[in-house]
Amino acid sequence: MGRVLIVGAGGVGGVVTHKCSQVSEVFSKIMLASRTLAKCEKIKEQVGRPIQVARVDADNSPEVVALINEFKPDLVVNVALPYQDLSIMDACLETGVNYLDTANYEPPGEAKFCYKWQWEYQERFQKKGVMALLGCGFDPGVTNIFCAYAQKHYFDIIERVDIMDCNAGEHGHPFATNFNPEINIREITQRGKYWEDGKWVETDPLSIHKSFDFPEIGVREMYLMYHEELESLVNNIEGLKRIRFWMTFGAEYLTHLRVLQNVGMTRIDPVEFEGQQIVPLKFLKAVLPEPSSLGKNYKGKTNIGCLIEGVKDGKKKSIYIYNVCDHAECYREVGAQAISYTTGVPAMIGAMLVLTGAWQGKGVFNVEEMDPDPFMEKLTIHGLPWTIKEIT
Ligand code: NDP
């Protein structure tokens, strides 16, 4: 029915490719392209049906255009890095092809992610008559859809949202990140930020924390951080008084991070080393385990969800809507850990809804602007069942 070009053969790209190849009635032809062809070949050997692979430098928009012209996809799924978002969107615009990603653009030289750069493509995508669907992973992605679903079926007004991301898994390494180390460390070390009473409130990095009893996991300490879905949800959930994002970290992770920061290894500006310029964080990435390699011995579960408070029929109510995902089960199914899995499955579902026409539009959209119902239905079918706990 549709042709999909997946860009990025990392942890998430592997899951998207596996999951698309499980649904041949929607994804009739699949191409996986990335900077390192060998990584595409490896994934190709693991999936259950023939796919095409190619080498592409997605920073180079004309290379992406040439690949699109050769393969002629109906949709490009960008699961490379946020740095490539704009060059891939440019290629989609030039060729008139739909676009989907899981993380918003971030300039390489500045640890600052926001939707401004991609939202600026609105008019051009509208004029071209194609769709760009932004942030279709888990968080952002499923968490936005959870809010849209709660808004549609559970509340007249949503007043407060706490998005909570708990990974209670053990991968056996003293220190590793669950998705691209460079992007992950840039995100965690920046200042915290949440939205309350119509304005943004900034906090020192990881300075606000509290515990929460996560279903199927137990009590964990979680830390307030800024996360990209806050920016779009503030615009798209009417009546919102406060929205925050929390992530759990173990003591071991935080100690390693503090030491790495203190010795300068998380710096993103180039330093002179033996006659050449290197960026310490890029060097650190090169010596840390790749996210796609963590799956084998990963044990334990993730619980990611939204604690939502609001009003229904004149009464205050609150719900916790969440998914629990088991690292070992993900590895058994697609050879990946749960963070790659919980990102790759929603990207595949978003792609499926675009290709089947269930989600349509011309322009640039965040996922909460789409009908949440078909997405929620597919989550359960394709490996990420969800639960709603009514608290009051
Ligand atoms: P990985 O580092 O495992 O994979 C990234 C892949 O992109 C690598 O294969 C890399 O190639 C490839 N790549 C990098 N630069 C280019 C380029 N210029 N051209 C072509 N390919 C390139 O990261 P993950 O798979 O963990 O993460 C992928 C994306 O998913 C990231 O943007 C991340 O922020 C996002 N994400 C979103 C989440 C969500 O819930 N919304 C959660 C987790 C991740 P090479 O192998 O050669 O380096």
Do 106 and 83 touch, CB atoms closer than 8 A? yes
Q: Is 36 in the pocket of ligand 1 (CB under 6 A)?
A: yes
CA distance 139 to 69: 32
What pLDDT does 315 receive?
97
What pLDDT does 113 receive?
85
Per the structure, the count of domains in the chain is 2
Are 219 and 243 in a shared domain? Answer: yes
Mean pLDDT of 20-38: 98
What pLDDT does 129 receive?
98
Question: What is the whole-number distance in angstroms between the Cα of residue 372 and the centre of ligand 1?
Answer: 26
Q: Is 237 in the pocket of ligand 1 (CB under 6 A)?
A: no
Which position has the higher pLDDT, 76 or 290? 76
**Collapsing DSSP states into helix, strand and coil, what is residue 200?**
strand
Which residues sit opposite 322 in a β-bridge? Answer: 305, 387
Are 176 and 304 in a shared domain? Answer: yes
Are 182 and 296 in a shared domain? Answer: yes
Are 349 and 286 in a shared domain? Answer: no
The dihedral over CA atoms of 247, 250, 336, 388, expressed in degrees to the nearest 10, equals: -40
Question: What is the whole-number distance in angstroms between the Cα of residue 181 and the centre of ligand 1?
Answer: 10
- Among 54-63, 118-127, 256-265, 370-379, the range scoring the smallest mean pLDDT is 256-265
- 51: domain CATH number is 3.40.50.720
Closest CA to 239 of 153, 308, 160: 160
Are 223 and 183 in a shared domain? Answer: yes
Do 76 and 91 touch, CB atoms closer than 8 A? yes
Q: Is 164 in the pocket of ligand 1 (CB under 6 A)?
A: no
| Best mutation site among 31, 102, 139, 163 for ligand 1 pocket (most ligand atoms within 8 Å of CB) | 102
Mean pLDDT of 53-70: 98
One-letter amino acid identity for 346?
Answer: P
Are 167 and 66 in a shared domain? Answer: no
What pLDDT does 292 receive?
83
pLDDT at 3 over 90: yes
Q: Is 161 in the pocket of ligand 1 (CB under 6 A)?
A: no
The band of 259, judged by pLDDT with boundaries at 50, 70 and 90, is very high
pLDDT in tens, 92-139: 999 999 999 999 999 888 878 899 999 999 999 999 999 999 999 999
- 308: domain CATH number is 3.30.360.10
Do 384 and 142 touch, CB atoms closer than 8 A? yes
What is the DSSP secondary structure assignment for residue 190, as one 8-state letter?
A: S
The reply to whether 61 falls in a domain is yes
- Counting from 1 in the atom list of ligand 1, the atom nearest the Cα of 58 is 19
The reply to whether 379 falls in a domain is no
What is the DSSP secondary structure assignment for residue 296, as one 8-state letter?
A: G
Are 302 and 253 in a shared domain? Answer: yes
- Counting from 1 in the atom list of ligand 1, the atom nearest the Cα of 178 is 26
pLDDT at 392 over 80: no
Mean pLDDT of 317-339: 97
CA distance 351 to 347: 6
Q: Is 56 in the pocket of ligand 1 (CB under 6 A)?
A: yes
The reply to whether 280 falls in a domain is yes
Q: Beta 301-312 vs 209-214: how paired, if at all?
A: unpaired
pLDDT in tens, 177-189: 988 888 889 888 8
pLDDT at 190 over 80: yes
Q: Is 341 in the pocket of ligand 1 (CB under 6 A)?
A: no
Q: Is 84 in the pocket of ligand 1 (CB under 6 A)?
A: yes
The reply to whether 186 falls in a domain is yes
What is the DSSP secondary structure assignment for residue 392, as one 8-state letter?
A: -
Are 92 and 111 in a shared domain? Answer: yes
CA distance 66 to 201: 44
Are 314 and 363 in a shared domain? Answer: no
Question: What is the whole-number distance in angstroms between the Cα of residue 102 and the centre of ligand 1?
Answer: 10
| DSSP H/E element including 213 | strand 209-214
Q: Is 141 in the pocket of ligand 1 (CB under 6 A)?
A: yes
What pLDDT does 180 receive?
86
Residue 69 sits in which domain range? 2-138+343-374
Question: What is the whole-number distance in angstroms between the Cα of residue 8 and the centre of ligand 1?
Answer: 6
